[in-house]
């Protein structure tokens, strides 16, 4: 006990406590000062944009990002009020300009990719899932991938997908007829439409019939879950730091779910490459329609270089992610 006391007493001595408090408060004052200067500087630079009322000085508009219906309602109100654009402050660190009017968005879309560098706030959290895909990459990496992907979105290729869309929507429609016949008088359509989209995408991208509209599919549930988790992560400032996030319950769930998704796309790509190799690089014509993965496996740049398995998996994962989020509900953007 005496030993413990003699060890602790200098630590707890007044001078020591005072200097600790001094260091702590100086640090706090410096951090607040830096944040304030930064905030003032950004406000000045962005003063040409209107700023909607915020919840608090520190958190700004952070709580106002919402998915699903409330998000759309809020977005609608913003567009009604601010017409072309406004700017948001997200927590102490981020400033976000939101553009609504096509005239304001057009110059951004027309600008060279080297100028419109993608921001980490939205894309960083997708990196573990989507890898270095065309959605996330910038500069030279982006432009090579963009060129190699172009054939996959040729109009003639897209046209052949109409039959798939048709059959997937027929499954959904039949399901609705069945539910109505069973006496259902109203129906929340969103999840049905979402499943139908993923069903179509799996058929178009991987020629994979998941039957996810009729019975639960592990892969499809995993995609929906990952989208939810990325959305949740964006709303929680502390989870923006990797070293915190991977220790949280959500971070661990994210990793587990990610394994399911990655295993699936890796299997598809590797099996397909083996089949193509067996056919000496000739795309299947008669047995099966050329799907997204086939096209990516066969595409070559000017030097005859194709995409690696990892690169193709990244694009395939992105394709599925886009199918789930382009419906807009997940991120409320
Ligand atoms: C879609 O499927 C229905 C039958 O379910 C068929 O009558 C129709 O012609 C199809 N449309 C297209 C564009 O394939």
How far is Cα 25 from Cα 118, in angstroms, rounded to an integer?
36
Q: Hey, how many other C-beta atoms are within 10 angstroms of the C-beta on 11?
A: 9
Ligand 1 pocket member 162 (CB < 6 A): yes
| Mean per-residue pLDDT of the chain | 85
Number of C-beta neighbours around residue 315 at 10 A: 25
pLDDT for the residue numbered 331: 44
Q: What is the pLDDT confidence band of residue 263, given thresholds at 50, 70 and 90?
A: very high
What whole-number percentage of the chain has pLDDT above 70?
90
Which of 320, 325, 316, 11 lies closest to 149 in space, CA to CA? 316
DSSP assignment string, 39-59 = HHHHHHHTTTS-----SBTTT
Contact residues for 268 (Cβ-Cβ < 8 A; gap 6+): 206, 208, 293, 316
Taking the centre of ligand 1 as the mean of its atom positions, its distance from the CA of residue 172, in whole angstroms, is 14
pLDDT of residue 276: 84
**H or E stretch covering 143:** helix 139-149
What average pLDDT score do residues 5-34 get? 78
Ligand 1 touching residue 277 (CB < 6 A):
no
pTM of the entire predicted model: 0.77
More confident residue, 290 or 286: 290
Please tell me if the CB atom of residue 159 comes closer than 6 angstroms to any atom of ligand 1. Answer: no
Can you list the domains of the chain with their CATH numbers? Answer: 45-110 (no CATH), 141-331 (1.10.630.10)
With beta carbons less than 8 A apart as the criterion, state whether 61 and 86 touch.
no
pLDDT (average), residues 166-178: 95
Residues whose CB falls within 8 Å of the CB of residue 145, separated by 6 or more in sequence, listed in order: 133, 134, 137, 307, 311, 315
**Tokens 């410096």 belong to which residue?**
30
């Amino acid at each position: 006990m005496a030993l413990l006391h003699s060890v602790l007493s200098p630590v707890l001595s007044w001078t020591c406590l005072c200097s600790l408090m001094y260091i702590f408060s100086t640090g706090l004052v410096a951090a607040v000062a830096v944040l304030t200067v930064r905030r003032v500087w950004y406000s000045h630079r962005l003063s040409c944009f209107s700023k909607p009322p915020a919840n608090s000085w520190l958190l700004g508009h952070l709580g106002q990002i919402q998915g699903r219906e409330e998000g759309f309602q809020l977005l609608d109100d913003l567009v009604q009020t601010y017409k072309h654009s406004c700017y948001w402050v997200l927590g102490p660190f981020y400033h976000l300009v939101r553009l609504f009017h096509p005239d304001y968005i057009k110059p951004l879309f027309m600008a060279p990719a080297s100028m419109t560098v993608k921001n980490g706030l939205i894309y960083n959290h997708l990196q573990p899932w989507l890898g270095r895909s065309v959605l996330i990459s910038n500069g030279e990496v982006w432009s090579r991938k963009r060129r190699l992907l172009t054939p996959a979105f040729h109009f003639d290729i897209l046209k052949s997908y109409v039959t798939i869309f048709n059959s997937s929507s027929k499954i959904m429609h039949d399901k609705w007829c069945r539910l109505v016949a069973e006496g259902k008088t109203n129906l929340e359509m969103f999840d049905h439409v979402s499943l139908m989209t993923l069903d179509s995408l799996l058929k178009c991208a991987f020629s994979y019939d998941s039957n996810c509209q009729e019975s639960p599919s592990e892969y499809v549930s995993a995609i929906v879950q990952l989208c939810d988790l990325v959305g949740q992560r964006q709303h929680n400032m502390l989870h923006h730091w990797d070293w915190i996030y991977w220790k949280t319950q959500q971070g661990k769930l994210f990793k587990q779910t990610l394994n399911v998704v990655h295993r699936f796309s890796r299997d598809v790509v590797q099996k397909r490459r083996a089949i193509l190799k067996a056919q000496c690089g000739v795309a299947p014509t008669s047995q099966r329609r050329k799907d997204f993965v086939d096209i990516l496996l066969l595409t070559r740049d000017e030097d005859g270089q194709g995409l690696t398995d990892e690169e193709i998996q990244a694009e395939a994962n992105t394709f599925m992610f886009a199918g789930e989020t382009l419906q807009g509900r997940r991120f409320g953007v």
